[in-house]
Amino acid sequence: MKKLLYALTLGAMLYFGIQQALEMGDSRDWPTTEGVIIASRIASSHKTSTEKGWRGNRYEYEVRVQYSYSVGGVNYTGHRLRIRPTKYGFEQNARRELAEYPVGQRVRVYYDPKQPERSLLKHI
């Protein structure tokens, strides 16, 4: 049973990793439109670990944005900065990125032409 659980977990990780890699490649060819930041903040999460090699508490910080954009006269709202979220170990690093996305800032939005509701702001 334990081996089956490991195999299923590994399979899921591979599937999502490959899916993200394919989306990263595809998104480089997505068209762009202008959008505007309607909300931005830093989310933090507390991590506790007793894993080998690391013990203790730490925080992770992630920049969260919400932006609006329009494609073909239809309005959309997006929230993805990039395909894979970036989590920072230091709040000041997240604050530096957050400074790029103040509310009201105009941004370039990359969107999937087949599903315009799928969008992001960065390819990295």
Domain boundaries, the chain: 30-120
Higher local confidence (pLDDT), 1 or 63: 63
Taking phi over 0 as left and psi of -120 to 50 as alpha, with beta for the rest, 104 belongs to left
Total-model pTM: 0.72
pLDDT tens digit sequence for 94-113: 999 999 999 999 999 999 99
Q: What is the dihedral of CA 97, 64, 62, 31, to 10 degrees?
A: -70
The residue length of the chain stands at 124
CA atoms of 26 and 78, how far apart (whole Å): 18
pLDDT tens per residue, range 18-70: 444 444 445 679 999 999 999 999 999 887 766 566 566 788 999 999 999 99
